[in-house]
Structure 1
Protein backbone atom coordinates (compact mmCIF):
# COMPACT_ATOMS: atom_id res chain seq x y z
CA UNK A 1 0.00 0.00 0.00
CA UNK A 2 1.38 3.39 -1.05
CA UNK A 3 0.90 5.94 1.75
CA UNK A 4 1.14 9.72 1.94
CA UNK A 5 1.39 10.97 5.52
CA UNK A 6 0.24 14.36 6.80
CA UNK A 7 1.10 15.38 10.36
CA UNK A 8 3.11 17.83 12.42
CA UNK A 9 3.55 17.45 16.23
CA UNK A 10 4.90 14.78 18.58
CA UNK A 11 1.48 13.15 18.74
CA UNK A 12 1.82 12.09 15.09
CA UNK A 13 5.32 10.59 15.39
CA UNK A 14 4.46 7.06 16.68
CA UNK A 15 1.91 6.68 13.88
CA UNK A 16 4.41 7.75 11.21
CA UNK A 17 7.05 5.37 12.59
CA UNK A 18 4.55 2.50 12.61
CA UNK A 19 3.57 3.27 9.01
CA UNK A 20 7.21 3.28 7.89
CA UNK A 21 7.63 -0.21 9.34
CA UNK A 22 4.53 -1.62 7.66
CA UNK A 23 4.00 0.30 4.40
CA UNK A 24 5.58 2.34 1.62
CA UNK A 25 5.42 5.93 2.88
CA UNK A 26 6.24 7.88 -0.29
CA UNK A 27 5.87 11.46 0.96
CA UNK A 28 5.30 13.40 4.17
CA UNK A 29 3.48 16.73 4.39
CA UNK A 30 3.98 18.81 7.50
CA UNK A 31 3.75 22.43 8.63
CA UNK A 32 6.55 24.85 7.67
CA UNK A 33 9.46 25.22 10.08
CA UNK A 34 8.50 27.63 12.87
CA UNK A 35 10.29 29.56 15.63
CA UNK A 36 10.10 27.47 18.81
CA UNK A 37 11.38 27.46 22.36
CA UNK A 38 12.92 30.21 24.46
CA UNK A 39 15.45 31.10 21.81
CA UNK A 40 12.71 31.39 19.18
CA UNK A 41 14.93 29.35 16.87
CA UNK A 42 13.37 28.18 13.59
CA UNK A 43 12.94 24.45 14.04
CA UNK A 44 11.49 21.62 11.92
CA UNK A 45 8.41 19.80 13.17
CA UNK A 46 8.86 16.46 14.96
CA UNK A 47 7.27 14.73 11.95
CA UNK A 48 9.74 16.32 9.54
CA UNK A 49 12.65 15.15 11.66
CA UNK A 50 11.41 11.55 11.44
CA UNK A 51 10.81 11.79 7.70
CA UNK A 52 14.33 13.11 7.07
CA UNK A 53 15.79 10.34 9.23
CA UNK A 54 14.25 7.78 6.85
CA UNK A 55 15.01 9.81 3.69
CA UNK A 56 11.34 10.35 2.91
CA UNK A 57 10.56 13.41 0.74
CA UNK A 58 8.95 16.25 2.72
CA UNK A 59 6.61 18.99 1.50
CA UNK A 60 5.75 21.96 3.71
CA UNK A 61 3.06 24.05 2.02
CA UNK A 62 2.03 27.17 3.92
CA UNK A 63 -1.57 26.82 2.72
CA UNK A 64 -2.46 23.50 1.12
CA UNK A 65 -5.67 24.90 -0.38
CA UNK A 66 -3.69 27.52 -2.33
CA UNK A 67 -0.75 25.32 -3.34
CA UNK A 68 -1.89 23.95 -6.69
CA UNK A 69 1.60 22.59 -7.35
CA UNK A 70 1.51 20.45 -4.20
CA UNK A 71 -1.95 19.11 -4.98
CA UNK A 72 -0.83 18.27 -8.53
CA UNK A 73 2.16 16.32 -7.11
CA UNK A 74 -0.15 14.39 -4.81
CA UNK A 75 -2.30 13.41 -7.76
CA UNK A 76 0.78 12.25 -9.69
CA UNK A 77 1.81 10.00 -6.79
CA UNK A 78 -1.52 8.14 -6.91
CA UNK A 79 -1.41 7.13 -3.23
CA UNK A 80 -3.62 4.28 -2.06
CA UNK A 81 -4.33 6.18 1.16
CA UNK A 82 -3.53 9.48 2.83
CA UNK A 83 -3.10 9.26 6.60
CA UNK A 84 -3.71 12.48 8.51
CA UNK A 85 -2.96 13.06 12.18
CA UNK A 86 -2.71 16.52 13.75
CA UNK A 87 -1.61 18.05 10.46
CA UNK A 88 -2.81 21.55 11.29
CA UNK A 89 -4.58 22.37 8.02
CA UNK A 90 -8.00 21.64 6.58
CA UNK A 91 -7.90 19.37 3.52
CA UNK A 92 -9.89 20.57 0.51
CA UNK A 93 -12.23 18.22 -1.32
CA UNK A 94 -9.71 18.04 -4.16
CA UNK A 95 -7.23 16.33 -1.84
CA UNK A 96 -9.80 14.13 -0.09
CA UNK A 97 -10.73 12.62 -3.45
CA UNK A 98 -7.16 11.70 -4.50
CA UNK A 99 -6.40 8.37 -2.74
CA UNK A 100 -7.97 5.05 -3.68
CA UNK A 101 -9.02 4.25 -0.10
CA UNK A 102 -9.65 7.83 0.99
CA UNK A 103 -8.05 9.98 3.66
CA UNK A 104 -7.89 8.33 7.08
CA UNK A 105 -7.62 10.43 10.24
CA UNK A 106 -6.52 9.43 13.74
CA UNK A 107 -8.34 11.58 16.32
CA UNK A 108 -7.61 11.80 20.05
CA UNK A 109 -11.10 11.17 21.41
CA UNK A 110 -14.01 8.75 21.28
CA UNK A 111 -15.94 10.48 18.56
CA UNK A 112 -18.36 12.16 18.25
CA UNK A 113 -17.31 13.59 21.63
CA UNK A 114 -14.54 16.18 21.58
CA UNK A 115 -14.26 17.01 17.93
CA UNK A 116 -11.81 19.83 17.34
CA UNK A 117 -8.34 20.98 18.28
CA UNK A 118 -7.85 20.09 21.97
CA UNK A 119 -9.62 16.80 22.76
CA UNK A 120 -6.99 15.47 25.17
CA UNK A 121 -6.87 18.60 27.32
CA UNK A 122 -10.61 19.15 27.31
CA UNK A 123 -11.38 15.58 28.36
CA UNK A 124 -9.27 16.02 31.52
CA UNK A 125 -10.59 19.52 32.23
CA UNK A 126 -14.15 18.18 31.99
CA UNK A 127 -13.41 15.43 34.50
CA UNK A 128 -13.81 12.50 32.11
CA UNK A 129 -12.60 9.10 33.32
CA UNK A 130 -12.37 7.45 29.89
CA UNK A 131 -11.18 8.72 26.53
CA UNK A 132 -9.64 7.02 23.51
CA UNK A 133 -8.69 7.27 19.87
CA UNK A 134 -10.87 6.98 16.79
CA UNK A 135 -9.95 6.36 13.16
CA UNK A 136 -12.29 7.76 10.55
CA UNK A 137 -12.77 8.45 6.88
CA UNK A 138 -12.27 12.18 6.45
CA UNK A 139 -14.85 14.46 4.87
CA UNK A 140 -15.09 18.24 4.48
CA UNK A 141 -16.45 18.75 8.03
CA UNK A 142 -14.42 19.17 11.23
CA UNK A 143 -13.91 15.62 12.54
CA UNK A 144 -17.32 14.58 11.20
CA UNK A 145 -16.35 11.65 8.97
CA UNK A 146 -17.56 8.06 9.26
CA UNK A 147 -15.83 6.17 12.09
CA UNK A 148 -13.81 2.99 11.55
CA UNK A 149 -12.18 1.77 14.79
CA UNK A 150 -12.05 2.99 18.39
CA UNK A 151 -9.96 2.06 21.41
CA UNK A 152 -10.70 3.27 24.92
CA UNK A 153 -8.06 4.61 27.32
CA UNK A 154 -8.63 5.17 31.05
CA UNK A 155 -7.87 8.64 32.37
CA UNK A 156 -6.10 8.09 35.69
CA UNK A 157 -6.27 10.53 38.59
CA UNK A 158 -2.57 11.32 38.17
CA UNK A 159 -2.77 11.86 34.41
CA UNK A 160 -1.90 15.24 32.96
CA UNK A 161 -2.50 16.30 29.38
CA UNK A 162 1.15 15.47 28.76
CA UNK A 163 1.06 11.91 30.12
CA UNK A 164 -2.27 11.15 28.46
CA UNK A 165 -0.99 12.56 25.16
CA UNK A 166 1.96 10.15 25.25
CA UNK A 167 -0.23 7.11 25.95
CA UNK A 168 -2.77 8.05 23.30
CA UNK A 169 -0.15 8.64 20.61
CA UNK A 170 1.08 5.05 21.00
CA UNK A 171 -2.44 3.61 20.99
CA UNK A 172 -3.30 5.75 17.97
CA UNK A 173 -0.46 4.19 15.98
CA UNK A 174 -1.72 0.68 16.75
CA UNK A 175 -5.32 1.50 15.87
CA UNK A 176 -4.25 3.11 12.58
CA UNK A 177 -2.29 0.03 11.48
CA UNK A 178 -5.25 -2.20 12.43
CA UNK A 179 -7.49 0.10 10.40
CA UNK A 180 -5.34 -0.04 7.28
CA UNK A 181 -5.12 -3.84 7.41
CA UNK A 182 -8.93 -4.03 7.49
CA UNK A 183 -9.20 -1.53 4.63
CA UNK A 184 -6.82 -3.63 2.53
CA UNK A 185 -9.08 -6.65 3.01
CA UNK A 186 -12.28 -4.64 2.40
CA UNK A 187 -13.38 -5.51 5.94
CA UNK A 188 -13.25 -2.06 7.56
CA UNK A 189 -16.46 -1.07 9.39
CA UNK A 190 -18.01 2.29 8.61
CA UNK A 191 -20.21 3.99 11.21
CA UNK A 192 -21.80 7.41 10.80
CA UNK A 193 -21.40 9.82 13.69
CA UNK A 194 -24.46 10.95 15.61
CA UNK A 195 -24.18 14.74 15.41
CA UNK A 196 -26.63 15.07 18.31
CA UNK A 197 -24.02 13.49 20.61
CA UNK A 198 -21.12 15.63 19.41
CA UNK A 199 -19.13 18.04 21.55
CA UNK A 200 -16.33 20.38 20.52
CA UNK A 201 -12.89 20.75 22.08
CA UNK A 202 -12.09 24.31 21.12
CA UNK A 203 -8.49 25.43 20.78
CA UNK A 204 -6.82 26.51 24.03
CA UNK A 205 -5.40 29.95 24.73
CA UNK A 206 -3.12 31.13 27.53
CA UNK A 207 -5.97 33.03 29.18
CA UNK A 208 -7.84 29.73 29.64
CA UNK A 209 -5.29 28.84 32.32
CA UNK A 210 -6.46 31.45 34.84
CA UNK A 211 -7.65 29.66 37.98
CA UNK A 212 -11.01 30.84 39.29
CA UNK A 213 -10.85 29.94 42.95
CA UNK A 214 -14.62 30.19 43.34
CA UNK A 215 -14.96 26.89 41.47
CA UNK A 216 -14.83 23.51 43.24
CA UNK A 217 -11.57 21.83 44.19
CA UNK A 218 -12.17 19.05 41.63
CA UNK A 219 -12.75 21.53 38.80
CA UNK A 220 -9.58 23.44 39.68
CA UNK A 221 -7.41 20.32 39.91
CA UNK A 222 -8.79 19.07 36.58
CA UNK A 223 -7.88 22.41 35.00
CA UNK A 224 -4.33 22.21 36.37
CA UNK A 225 -3.92 18.64 35.07
CA UNK A 226 -5.53 19.40 31.72
CA UNK A 227 -3.29 22.40 31.01
CA UNK A 228 -0.02 20.68 31.93
CA UNK A 229 2.30 21.15 30.02
CA UNK A 230 0.57 23.84 27.93
CA UNK A 231 -0.65 26.51 28.32
CA UNK A 232 -0.43 25.87 32.10
CA UNK A 233 -2.80 26.88 34.87
CA UNK A 234 -1.91 30.03 36.77
CA UNK A 235 -2.98 32.41 39.50
CA UNK A 236 -1.47 35.57 41.00
CA UNK A 237 0.65 35.99 44.11
CA UNK A 238 1.47 39.56 45.18
CA UNK A 239 0.72 40.71 41.63
CA UNK A 240 3.06 38.16 40.03
CA UNK A 241 2.00 35.21 37.89
CA UNK A 242 2.23 31.95 39.81
CA UNK A 243 1.94 28.87 37.61
CA UNK A 244 0.53 25.81 39.34
CA UNK A 245 1.95 22.57 37.94
CA UNK A 246 0.83 20.04 40.52
CA UNK A 247 -2.15 19.92 42.89
CA UNK A 248 -4.60 17.52 44.52
CA UNK A 249 -8.15 17.89 45.78
CA UNK A 250 -8.48 17.54 49.56
CA UNK A 251 -11.55 15.60 50.67
CA UNK A 252 -10.66 14.63 54.24
CA UNK A 253 -11.30 18.02 55.80
CA UNK A 254 -12.42 21.59 55.16
CA UNK A 255 -11.26 24.92 56.57
CA UNK A 256 -13.08 28.24 56.53
CA UNK A 257 -11.68 31.02 54.37
CA UNK A 258 -12.03 33.06 51.21
CA UNK A 259 -11.74 31.42 47.78
CA UNK A 260 -8.03 31.55 46.91
CA UNK A 261 -6.90 32.00 50.51
CA UNK A 262 -3.95 29.92 51.74
CA UNK A 263 -5.59 28.50 54.85
CA UNK A 264 -2.82 26.12 55.91
CA UNK A 265 0.72 25.00 55.07
CA UNK A 266 0.77 21.23 55.54
CA UNK A 267 3.84 19.03 54.97
CA UNK A 268 5.38 21.80 52.87
CA UNK A 269 2.29 22.03 50.61
CA UNK A 270 -0.04 25.01 50.33
CA UNK A 271 -3.65 24.30 51.31
CA UNK A 272 -5.94 26.70 49.43
CA UNK A 273 -9.63 27.33 49.93
CA UNK A 274 -11.90 27.03 46.88
CA UNK A 275 -15.59 27.61 46.28
CA UNK A 276 -16.14 24.04 47.44
CA UNK A 277 -13.42 22.23 49.36
CA UNK A 278 -9.66 22.58 49.51
CA UNK A 279 -6.78 22.19 47.04
CA UNK A 280 -3.31 21.06 48.03
CA UNK A 281 -0.72 22.78 45.82
CA UNK A 282 2.47 20.76 45.45
CA UNK A 283 4.47 22.30 42.56
CA UNK A 284 4.65 25.94 41.48
CA UNK A 285 6.60 28.38 39.33
CA UNK A 286 6.68 32.05 40.23
CA UNK A 287 7.09 34.55 37.41
CA UNK A 288 10.77 34.74 36.41
CA UNK A 289 11.73 31.61 38.36
CA UNK A 290 12.06 27.88 37.72
CA UNK A 291 9.44 25.26 38.45
CA UNK A 292 9.92 23.76 41.91
CA UNK A 293 8.21 21.87 44.74
CA UNK A 294 6.41 24.13 47.21
CA UNK A 295 8.93 23.06 49.85
CA UNK A 296 11.73 24.70 47.86
CA UNK A 297 9.58 27.69 46.94
CA UNK A 298 8.86 28.47 50.61
CA UNK A 299 12.57 28.69 51.40
CA UNK A 300 12.74 31.90 49.38
CA UNK A 301 9.22 33.31 49.54
CA UNK A 302 7.08 34.30 52.50
CA UNK A 303 3.40 33.37 52.59
CA UNK A 304 1.02 32.77 55.47
CA UNK A 305 -2.63 32.05 56.17
CA UNK A 306 -3.64 35.63 55.37
CA UNK A 307 -2.31 35.36 51.79
CA UNK A 308 -4.98 35.26 49.08
CA UNK A 309 -4.09 34.00 45.62
CA UNK A 310 -5.64 35.37 42.48
CA UNK A 311 -5.41 39.10 43.22
CA UNK A 312 -3.65 40.81 40.30
CA UNK A 313 -2.43 44.12 41.76
Structure 2
Protein backbone atom coordinates (compact mmCIF):
# COMPACT_ATOMS: atom_id res chain seq x y z
CA UNK A 1 0.00 0.00 0.00
CA UNK A 2 0.96 3.61 -0.50
CA UNK A 3 0.95 5.12 2.99
CA UNK A 4 1.53 8.42 4.76
CA UNK A 5 2.69 7.84 8.34
CA UNK A 6 2.03 10.47 11.02
CA UNK A 7 3.60 10.16 14.47
CA UNK A 8 5.99 11.87 16.85
CA UNK A 9 7.19 10.25 20.15
CA UNK A 10 8.78 6.94 21.14
CA UNK A 11 5.36 5.30 21.29
CA UNK A 12 5.03 5.67 17.50
CA UNK A 13 8.50 4.35 16.57
CA UNK A 14 7.69 0.59 16.62
CA UNK A 15 4.58 1.27 14.52
CA UNK A 16 6.61 3.10 11.87
CA UNK A 17 9.09 0.23 11.90
CA UNK A 18 6.19 -2.20 11.44
CA UNK A 19 5.02 -0.34 8.33
CA UNK A 20 8.60 -0.33 7.01
CA UNK A 21 8.91 -4.07 7.68
CA UNK A 22 5.66 -4.74 5.81
CA UNK A 23 7.28 -3.28 2.72
CA UNK A 24 4.65 -0.61 2.18
CA UNK A 25 5.46 2.40 0.03
CA UNK A 26 5.80 5.18 2.61
CA UNK A 27 5.43 8.32 0.54
CA UNK A 28 5.95 10.69 3.49
CA UNK A 29 6.39 10.77 7.26
CA UNK A 30 4.70 13.66 9.07
CA UNK A 31 5.95 14.53 12.55
CA UNK A 32 5.99 17.48 14.94
CA UNK A 33 8.62 20.22 14.44
CA UNK A 34 11.98 19.83 16.22
CA UNK A 35 11.88 21.28 19.73
CA UNK A 36 14.63 22.83 21.89
CA UNK A 37 15.80 20.66 24.79
CA UNK A 38 18.38 20.76 27.54
CA UNK A 39 20.31 23.68 28.97
CA UNK A 40 21.62 24.70 25.57
CA UNK A 41 18.11 24.62 24.05
CA UNK A 42 19.48 22.69 21.10
CA UNK A 43 16.83 21.58 18.64
CA UNK A 44 16.03 17.91 19.11
CA UNK A 45 14.30 15.90 16.35
CA UNK A 46 11.33 13.72 17.34
CA UNK A 47 12.08 9.96 17.61
CA UNK A 48 9.90 9.23 14.57
CA UNK A 49 11.92 11.65 12.45
CA UNK A 50 15.17 9.97 13.49
CA UNK A 51 13.91 6.54 12.40
CA UNK A 52 12.47 7.91 9.16
CA UNK A 53 15.76 9.55 8.19
CA UNK A 54 17.65 6.33 8.97
CA UNK A 55 15.54 4.66 6.29
CA UNK A 56 15.76 7.53 3.82
CA UNK A 57 12.07 8.40 4.09
CA UNK A 58 10.86 11.93 3.22
CA UNK A 59 9.98 13.85 6.40
CA UNK A 60 7.55 16.77 6.64
CA UNK A 61 7.13 18.83 9.84
CA UNK A 62 4.34 21.36 9.31
CA UNK A 63 3.30 23.54 12.23
CA UNK A 64 -0.33 22.87 11.35
CA UNK A 65 -2.39 20.61 9.10
CA UNK A 66 -4.94 23.39 8.67
CA UNK A 67 -2.69 25.19 6.21
CA UNK A 68 -4.21 24.82 2.72
CA UNK A 69 -0.79 24.28 1.14
CA UNK A 70 -0.12 21.42 3.56
CA UNK A 71 -3.49 19.86 2.80
CA UNK A 72 -2.79 20.13 -0.94
CA UNK A 73 0.62 18.48 -0.45
CA UNK A 74 -1.07 15.56 1.36
CA UNK A 75 -3.64 15.18 -1.41
CA UNK A 76 -0.91 15.35 -4.10
CA UNK A 77 0.90 12.42 -2.44
CA UNK A 78 -2.16 10.27 -3.25
CA UNK A 79 -1.89 7.90 -0.26
CA UNK A 80 -4.14 4.86 -0.15
CA UNK A 81 -4.14 5.07 3.65
CA UNK A 82 -2.85 7.39 6.36
CA UNK A 83 -1.54 5.80 9.56
CA UNK A 84 -1.57 8.01 12.65
CA UNK A 85 0.17 7.04 15.92
CA UNK A 86 0.55 9.66 18.68
CA UNK A 87 1.03 12.43 16.13
CA UNK A 88 -0.16 15.18 18.46
CA UNK A 89 -2.30 17.06 15.95
CA UNK A 90 -5.92 16.70 14.90
CA UNK A 91 -6.54 15.84 11.25
CA UNK A 92 -9.02 18.25 9.62
CA UNK A 93 -11.92 16.78 7.60
CA UNK A 94 -10.22 17.63 4.30
CA UNK A 95 -7.25 15.42 5.27
CA UNK A 96 -9.44 12.61 6.64
CA UNK A 97 -11.16 12.47 3.25
CA UNK A 98 -7.95 12.03 1.20
CA UNK A 99 -7.08 8.29 1.44
CA UNK A 100 -9.61 5.89 -0.14
CA UNK A 101 -8.86 3.20 2.48
CA UNK A 102 -9.19 5.67 5.35
CA UNK A 103 -7.07 7.11 8.15
CA UNK A 104 -6.03 4.45 10.68
CA UNK A 105 -5.19 5.43 14.25
CA UNK A 106 -3.39 3.36 16.90
CA UNK A 107 -4.75 4.40 20.31
CA UNK A 108 -3.42 3.29 23.72
CA UNK A 109 -6.66 2.21 25.37
CA UNK A 110 -9.62 -0.12 24.96
CA UNK A 111 -11.97 2.37 23.38
CA UNK A 112 -14.36 3.94 24.11
CA UNK A 113 -12.61 4.18 27.50
CA UNK A 114 -9.87 6.79 27.85
CA UNK A 115 -10.27 8.95 24.80
CA UNK A 116 -7.65 11.69 24.71
CA UNK A 117 -3.97 12.52 25.02
CA UNK A 118 -2.94 10.42 28.05
CA UNK A 119 -4.86 7.11 28.03
CA UNK A 120 -2.03 4.96 29.40
CA UNK A 121 -1.29 7.26 32.33
CA UNK A 122 -4.94 7.62 33.33
CA UNK A 123 -5.50 3.88 33.24
CA UNK A 124 -2.71 3.52 35.81
CA UNK A 125 -3.78 6.52 37.90
CA UNK A 126 -7.31 5.11 38.11
CA UNK A 127 -6.03 1.73 39.26
CA UNK A 128 -7.24 -0.24 36.23
CA UNK A 129 -6.28 -3.91 36.24
CA UNK A 130 -6.06 -4.12 32.44
CA UNK A 131 -5.95 -1.94 29.37
CA UNK A 132 -4.98 -2.36 25.75
CA UNK A 133 -4.62 -0.90 22.28
CA UNK A 134 -7.34 -0.15 19.75
CA UNK A 135 -6.97 0.54 16.04
CA UNK A 136 -9.75 2.61 14.49
CA UNK A 137 -10.87 4.58 11.48
CA UNK A 138 -10.37 8.24 12.35
CA UNK A 139 -13.36 10.58 12.45
CA UNK A 140 -13.84 14.28 13.14
CA UNK A 141 -14.11 13.92 16.94
CA UNK A 142 -11.36 13.06 19.43
CA UNK A 143 -10.88 9.27 19.25
CA UNK A 144 -14.51 8.74 18.24
CA UNK A 145 -14.08 6.73 15.02
CA UNK A 146 -15.24 3.19 14.33
CA UNK A 147 -13.08 0.57 16.07
CA UNK A 148 -11.16 -2.04 14.07
CA UNK A 149 -9.01 -4.40 16.18
CA UNK A 150 -8.16 -4.60 19.88
CA UNK A 151 -5.40 -6.19 21.96
CA UNK A 152 -5.67 -6.40 25.76
CA UNK A 153 -2.93 -6.54 28.38
CA UNK A 154 -2.87 -6.71 32.18
CA UNK A 155 -1.42 -3.85 34.21
CA UNK A 156 1.00 -4.98 36.91
CA UNK A 157 0.14 -3.81 40.46
CA UNK A 158 3.42 -1.88 40.69
CA UNK A 159 3.90 -1.15 36.98
CA UNK A 160 4.52 2.51 36.17
CA UNK A 161 3.02 4.36 33.24
CA UNK A 162 6.46 4.51 31.64
CA UNK A 163 6.91 0.74 31.90
CA UNK A 164 3.43 0.18 30.49
CA UNK A 165 4.23 2.57 27.63
CA UNK A 166 7.24 0.46 26.69
CA UNK A 167 5.09 -2.67 26.47
CA UNK A 168 2.10 -1.10 24.76
CA UNK A 169 4.06 0.54 21.96
CA UNK A 170 5.12 -2.96 20.87
CA UNK A 171 1.56 -4.27 21.22
CA UNK A 172 0.39 -1.33 19.12
CA UNK A 173 2.90 -2.06 16.36
CA UNK A 174 1.82 -5.71 16.16
CA UNK A 175 -1.86 -4.73 16.13
CA UNK A 176 -1.19 -2.19 13.38
CA UNK A 177 0.41 -4.90 11.25
CA UNK A 178 -2.66 -7.13 11.69
CA UNK A 179 -4.93 -4.18 10.89
CA UNK A 180 -3.09 -3.25 7.68
CA UNK A 181 -3.00 -6.89 6.59
CA UNK A 182 -6.78 -7.17 6.95
CA UNK A 183 -7.35 -3.75 5.40
CA UNK A 184 -5.30 -4.78 2.38
CA UNK A 185 -7.29 -8.00 2.03
CA UNK A 186 -10.52 -6.00 2.00
CA UNK A 187 -12.51 -7.61 4.82
CA UNK A 188 -11.85 -5.22 7.69
CA UNK A 189 -15.01 -3.56 9.02
CA UNK A 190 -15.37 -0.91 11.69
CA UNK A 191 -17.52 -1.20 14.81
CA UNK A 192 -19.15 2.02 16.10
CA UNK A 193 -18.21 3.07 19.61
CA UNK A 194 -20.78 3.20 22.39
CA UNK A 195 -20.50 6.86 23.33
CA UNK A 196 -22.37 6.25 26.58
CA UNK A 197 -19.37 4.20 27.79
CA UNK A 198 -16.77 6.81 26.83
CA UNK A 199 -14.34 8.24 29.39
CA UNK A 200 -11.73 10.95 28.89
CA UNK A 201 -7.96 10.95 29.38
CA UNK A 202 -6.87 14.60 29.21
CA UNK A 203 -3.28 15.75 29.02
CA UNK A 204 -1.37 15.57 32.32
CA UNK A 205 -0.45 18.75 34.20
CA UNK A 206 2.36 19.56 36.63
CA UNK A 207 -0.24 20.46 39.26
CA UNK A 208 -1.13 16.76 39.47
CA UNK A 209 2.18 16.13 41.28
CA UNK A 210 0.75 17.23 44.63
CA UNK A 211 -0.35 14.40 46.93
CA UNK A 212 -3.30 14.39 49.30
CA UNK A 213 -2.06 12.08 52.05
CA UNK A 214 -5.55 11.73 53.51
CA UNK A 215 -6.39 9.43 50.58
CA UNK A 216 -5.92 5.64 50.85
CA UNK A 217 -2.41 4.33 50.25
CA UNK A 218 -3.56 2.32 47.21
CA UNK A 219 -4.93 5.44 45.53
CA UNK A 220 -1.74 7.44 46.17
CA UNK A 221 0.35 4.47 44.97
CA UNK A 222 -1.58 4.52 41.68
CA UNK A 223 -0.98 8.27 41.40
CA UNK A 224 2.76 7.82 41.93
CA UNK A 225 3.16 5.13 39.28
CA UNK A 226 0.73 6.81 36.87
CA UNK A 227 2.71 10.07 36.92
CA UNK A 228 6.05 8.30 36.35
CA UNK A 229 7.98 9.38 34.24
CA UNK A 230 6.19 12.78 33.96
CA UNK A 231 5.34 14.96 35.77
CA UNK A 232 6.05 12.67 38.79
CA UNK A 233 4.33 12.81 42.14
CA UNK A 234 6.25 14.97 44.61
CA UNK A 235 6.53 15.76 48.30
CA UNK A 236 8.58 18.05 50.52
CA UNK A 237 10.48 15.96 53.05
CA UNK A 238 12.41 17.85 55.73
CA UNK A 239 12.46 20.98 53.57
CA UNK A 240 13.63 19.16 50.43
CA UNK A 241 11.33 18.66 47.46
CA UNK A 242 11.64 15.14 46.10
CA UNK A 243 10.00 13.22 43.28
CA UNK A 244 8.38 9.99 44.40
CA UNK A 245 9.00 7.47 41.61
CA UNK A 246 7.92 4.07 42.90
CA UNK A 247 6.19 2.77 46.01
CA UNK A 248 4.57 -0.21 47.68
CA UNK A 249 1.41 -0.39 49.76
CA UNK A 250 2.05 -1.77 53.26
CA UNK A 251 0.01 -2.25 56.40
CA UNK A 252 0.11 0.28 59.20
CA UNK A 253 -1.55 3.48 60.33
CA UNK A 254 -0.69 6.89 61.71
CA UNK A 255 -1.54 10.50 61.09
CA UNK A 256 -1.77 10.95 57.30
CA UNK A 257 1.35 12.59 55.91
CA UNK A 258 3.72 11.58 58.72
CA UNK A 259 7.11 10.17 57.73
CA UNK A 260 8.60 7.12 59.43
CA UNK A 261 11.82 5.14 59.19
CA UNK A 262 11.03 1.51 59.96
CA UNK A 263 13.71 -1.17 59.55
CA UNK A 264 15.65 1.23 57.35
CA UNK A 265 12.68 1.79 55.01
CA UNK A 266 11.06 5.15 54.25
CA UNK A 267 7.34 4.95 55.03
CA UNK A 268 4.60 7.57 54.84
CA UNK A 269 1.24 7.22 56.57
CA UNK A 270 -1.88 7.68 54.46
CA UNK A 271 -5.59 7.97 55.14
CA UNK A 272 -5.76 4.19 54.97
CA UNK A 273 -2.58 2.12 55.18
CA UNK A 274 0.98 3.27 54.56
CA UNK A 275 3.28 3.67 51.57
CA UNK A 276 6.84 2.42 51.39
CA UNK A 277 8.77 4.76 49.09
CA UNK A 278 11.01 2.41 47.13
CA UNK A 279 12.55 4.97 44.76
CA UNK A 280 12.77 8.74 44.76
CA UNK A 281 14.83 11.62 43.40
CA UNK A 282 15.76 14.93 44.98
CA UNK A 283 15.54 17.99 42.71
CA UNK A 284 19.29 18.18 42.23
CA UNK A 285 20.12 14.54 42.87
CA UNK A 286 20.06 11.12 41.30
CA UNK A 287 17.41 8.42 41.49
CA UNK A 288 17.91 6.30 44.58
CA UNK A 289 16.12 3.83 46.79
CA UNK A 290 14.25 4.99 49.86
CA UNK A 291 16.79 3.10 51.98
CA UNK A 292 19.73 4.94 50.45
CA UNK A 293 17.97 8.27 50.85
CA UNK A 294 17.60 7.64 54.57
CA UNK A 295 21.31 6.82 54.84
CA UNK A 296 22.19 10.27 53.57
CA UNK A 297 19.42 12.32 55.16
CA UNK A 298 18.35 12.52 58.78
CA UNK A 299 14.56 12.59 59.00
CA UNK A 300 12.77 13.05 62.29
CA UNK A 301 10.43 10.12 62.83
CA UNK A 302 6.83 11.29 62.76
CA UNK A 303 7.63 14.52 60.90
CA UNK A 304 4.58 15.84 59.03
CA UNK A 305 5.00 16.40 55.29
CA UNK A 306 4.38 19.91 53.99
Pairwise TM-score range, normalised by the shorter structure: over 0.9
Q: What is the alpha-carbon distance in structure 1 between the residues aligned to residue 264 and residue 278 of structure 2?
A: 8
Matching residue within 292, 299, 304 for 1:303: 299
Structure 2 residue aligned with 1:44: 45
Q: Say whether residues 1:238 and 2:238 are aligned partners.
A: yes
Structure 2 residue aligned with 1:185: 185
User: RMSD of the TM alignment (CA)?
Assistant: 1.1
Unpaired runs of at least 5, structure 2: none
What does 1:244-259 correspond to in 2, within 5 Å?
244-250=244-250, 253-255=251-253, 257-259=254-256
Q: Secondary structure of the residue that 1:246 maps to in structure 2?
A: strand
- Retained in 2: the 8 A contact 1:135–1:148? yes
Structure 1 residue aligned with 2:281: 285
TM-score (norm 1): 0.95
Classify 1:19/1:204 alpha carbon distance in 2 versus 1 (closer, same or farther; 3 Å): same
- Note the alpha carbon deviations across 1:203-230, whole angstroms, 9 max, x for none: 1011111111111000010011111111
Q: What is the alpha-carbon distance in structure 2 between the residues aligned to residue 48 and residue 140 of structure 1?
A: 26
Q: Secondary structure of the residue that 1:55 maps to in structure 2?
A: coil
TM-score (norm 2): 0.97
Structure 1 residue aligned with 2:36: 35
Q: Secondary structure of the residue that 2:27 maps to in structure 1?
A: strand
Q: CA deviation at 1:300?
A: 2.1
Q: CA deviation at 1:299?
A: 2.4
Structure 1 residue aligned with 2:119: 119
- Note the alpha carbon deviations across 1:151-195, whole angstroms, 9 max, x for none: 001101131111100110001011111111111112113100000
Q: Say whether residues 1:57 and 2:54 are aligned partners.
A: no
Unpaired runs of at least 5, structure 1: none
- Retained in 2: the 8 A contact 1:13–1:50? yes
Classify 1:259/1:40 alpha carbon distance in 2 versus 1 (closer, same or farther; 3 Å): farther
Q: What is the alpha-carbon distance in structure 2 between the residues aligned to residue 61 and residue 272 of structure 1?
A: 48
Q: CA deviation at 1:38?
A: 4.8
Q: CA deviation at 1:131?
A: 0.2
- Retained in 1: the 8 A contact 2:158–2:247? no
Classify 1:108/1:276 alpha carbon distance in 2 versus 1 (closer, same or farther; 3 Å): same
Structure 2 residue aligned with 1:8: 8
- Retained in 1: the 8 A contact 2:158–2:248? no
- Note the alpha carbon deviations across 1:271-300, whole angstroms, 9 max, x for none: 111011111111111222222112221222
Structure 2 residue aligned with 1:275: 271
